[in-house]
Amino acid sequence: MKLIGAHVSAAGGVYNAPLNAHNIGANAFALFTKNQRQWIAKPLEQSAITAFKARCQQYGFHPEAILPHDSYLINLGSPDAEKLEKSRNAFIDEMDRCQQLGLHLLNFHPGSHLKKISESDCLALIAESINMAHQAVPNVVAVIENTAGQGSNLGWRFEHLAEIIAQVEDKTRVGVCIDTCHTFAAGYDLRTEQATEQTFAEFDQIVGMPYLRGMHLNDSKGKLGSHLDRHNSLGAGEIGWDCFRYLMQDPRFDNIPLVLETIDPDIWQQEIAKLRSFCN
């Protein structure tokens, strides 16, 4: 089964996210469990946790269909010791919030070397950060999102993802989220079904398809290899529909959250319906 949804608002309380997802015809969704632009948030209240779980059950969202995203401030590969510790503590808090909500996954951007340490040193710090989070929170999978490669952000090459995973001690609790816009901006072609097939064959060879735990489905305003993280509505950008048709018809992408982060929430319902129309 294809689990298709969008990154919906949790404004007013996390329990509003499943309602917002249900209202656009989704059977998957992403959310922030706290303000994504703040380091510290109030602990989740038990009433909010109970209401979130009840609504997920009411609308048929099981934990494997929900892909929470962490704060944008976190840099698990920071060369600055103080910021690294702050990031690690914040990431552990995010994992703990997921666990309280009964969620199994936490999606995050891997980190940036800020041109102060080598790529390998930064990737090692990211893996070490994941290991520390695993020790602190027992049941949540750390899902590394590939990046567009803007600035000093790592994770844009499949080799970066593989190097992080190689250094994670508990391989059962690390995974990857592939963002189609980021993948294309990083230089992997997705404009035809053949190109998409080739890109995922490369991903499988370097990282391994079993590590794929979710996807962000976005078209790209930037051209191939532009390193621009600029999303577009599906079919309206440089990637086009062939890639998304391919993903919907390939069973390797079943039973993982396929989440829109496209630029016009008013058409998410139509985008989800169009994606479903491609399914075999």
Distance CA 37, CA 140 (A): 22
DSSP 199-241: HHHHHHHHT-GGGEEEEEE-EESSPTT-----EE-TTSSSS-H
Say whether 229 counts as a known binding-site residue.
Answer: yes
- Confirm whether 179 is a catalytic residue: yes
Say whether 182 counts as a known binding-site residue.
Answer: yes
From the list 70, 145, 219, 238, the catalytic residue is: 145
Of 198, 179, 192, residue with least CA distance to 239: 192
Say whether 204 counts as a known binding-site residue.
Answer: no
- Confirm whether 109 is a catalytic residue: yes
Say whether 69 counts as a known binding-site residue.
Answer: yes
- Confirm whether 230 is a catalytic residue: no
From the list 94, 128, 229, 238, the catalytic residue is: 229
State which H helix or E strand residue 165 sits in: helix 158-166
**58: which 2 tokens?**
């009411």
Whether the Cβ atoms of residue 254 and residue 247 lie closer than 8 Å to each other: no
- Confirm whether 15 is a catalytic residue: no
Q: How far lies 199's CA from each of 158, 188, 235, in Å?
A: 10, 6, 19
Say whether 179 counts as a known binding-site residue.
Answer: yes
From the list 7, 22, 55, 69, the catalytic residue is: 69
From the list 64, 189, 242, 261, the catalytic residue is: 261
**149: which 2 tokens?**
């490669």
- Confirm whether 145 is a catalytic residue: yes
- Confirm whether 37 is a catalytic residue: yes
- Confirm whether 160 is a catalytic residue: no
Say whether 197 counts as a known binding-site residue.
Answer: no
From the list 97, 104, 182, 213, the catalytic residue is: 182
Say whether 238 counts as a known binding-site residue.
Answer: no
Active site residues: 37, 69, 72, 109, 145, 179, 182, 216, 229, 231, 261
Residues contributing to the annotated binding site for Zn(2+):
69, 109, 145, 179, 182, 216, 229, 231, 261
Residues contributing to the annotated binding site:
69, 109, 145, 179, 182, 216, 229, 231, 261
